[in-house]
Amino acid sequence: MMKSTSFILLALLFIGCASGPQKFDKIANVKKYKEKTILVMTSELNKTFTTKCPKRYKKIYDKKPWRYLQELGNSCVQKRNWRMTKRIAKQIFKAEPYSPWGPYYLSLEAEAQGSYYKSLWMVDLAMKKMPYGLFHYQKARILWKQKYYSLAEVELLTAVAMDTKVFGAHEMLGQLYLRDLEYKKSIEHFDLIVDRPSYKKTALRGLSISYFYLSDYKKSYNFTERFLEYSPYDYQAHLRMAHISETVNKDLKSALRSYKKIQYYQKTKKIQGRVDVDVSLKISELKKTIDEKEQKRSVSSSKKKSEVVR
């Protein structure tokens, strides 16, 4: 309790300093604290940092420059070592009261602990110190977890307007518009992240579904094929492939292969998603139709040959 109280007093002191007579220039802050820095987002943590997250905090860190502390913070977020993230954030808070990175890391740490109101407070403080798209994205994520979807959308749109490279915001917007059946809007955002390794699977799924419901079946088929490389047991994806093959491409054999895969993944209990089609019935119907067509083709071919002989 004492630790929590002392931290709140410390934070209020820094807020007071930032709004008191020693006013700071936000533009100067952007130049100082944003340019040439390594940034990390919780949804894109596959980067390798040269500075490793320490197992314990050392006194020597108190004298290190803020950029070094930020690299430590990034590494600790990547390792999800929230205890050390919090300790480093407090040191940044203390050494660089105008830096947004102390409160930003504390926002991530509070989010990980499920303390969403504290997380919002900290990210709001970071935004007061420096306007930045990443911070709006962080705020959107917290609002989304609290089910304030409309407010989250505003923050996400602000994030991508400020910085188009906040790829996580594009991912969330794509999913939001997919949920709301606004397929053209979802495509705009998924298109921007489909080649990013961390977001490829989500984007391929979103593009596959969006183009399907916009009746662009060729693109939907291609994106579904690519999505199945990352999620081979997805029921809905195989069903889309089967539907397009059967009703659009008139390729019954391809449709049959898709249904057989669904049946096999059902039997081996690998299928992902609730199967709401009688797959066995569908397979038997397709087999029957294929056999009938082949018989007709065979009869037709025999007639032509006999006519040639005559």
Say how far apart CA 77 and CA 84 lie, in whole Å.
9
Domain ranges of the chain: 37-148, 232-297
DSSP state letters, 191-249:
HHHTTSTTTHHHHHHHHHHHHHHTT-HHHHHHHHHHHHHH-TTBHHHHHHHHHIIIIIS
Closest CA to 11 of 78, 82, 108, 107: 107
DSSP E strand stretches across 79-232 = none
**Between residues 270 and 64, which one has the greater pLDDT?**
270
CA distances (Å), origin 122, targets 3, 54, 97, 195, 220: 17, 24, 13, 32, 42
Say how far apart CA 304 and CA 244 lie, in whole Å.
33
pLDDT at 17 over 50: no
| Helix and strand element counts for the chain (H, E) | 15, 0
- pLDDT average, residue stretch 144-172: 95
Q: What is the pLDDT of residues 242-271, one digit of tens each?
A: 999 999 999 999 999 999 999 999 999 999
CA distances (Å), origin 42, targets 67, 113, 296: 19, 14, 60
CA distances (Å), origin 101, targets 53, 67, 129: 16, 10, 9
Reduce the DSSP state of residue 79 to 3 states and report it. Answer: coil
CATH of 37-148, one of 3.30.930.10, 1.20.1290.10, 1.10.3720.10, 1.25.40.10: 1.25.40.10
* Cut 0.85: pTM above it: no
Residues, the chain? 310
Q: Phi-psi region for residue 271, left (φ > 0), alpha (ψ -120 to 50) or beta?
A: beta
Who's near 221: CB < 8 A, 6+ residues apart? Answer: 240, 241, 244, 245, 249
Reduce the DSSP state of residue 39 to 3 states and report it. Answer: coil
Contact 70, 95 (CB under 8 A): no
**Between residues 14 and 239, which one has the greater pLDDT?**
239
Whole-number mean pLDDT of the chain?
86
Structure tokens at 286: 């397709």
- pLDDT average, residue stretch 77-93: 91
Q: Phi-psi region for residue 115, left (φ > 0), alpha (ψ -120 to 50) or beta?
A: beta
Structure tokens at 113: 């602990």
Residue with tokens 């860190």: 61
Say how far apart CA 256 and CA 289 lie, in whole Å.
11
Q: What is the pLDDT of residues 104-131, one digit of tens each?
A: 999 999 999 999 999 999 999 999 999 9
Structure tokens at 59: 């006194």
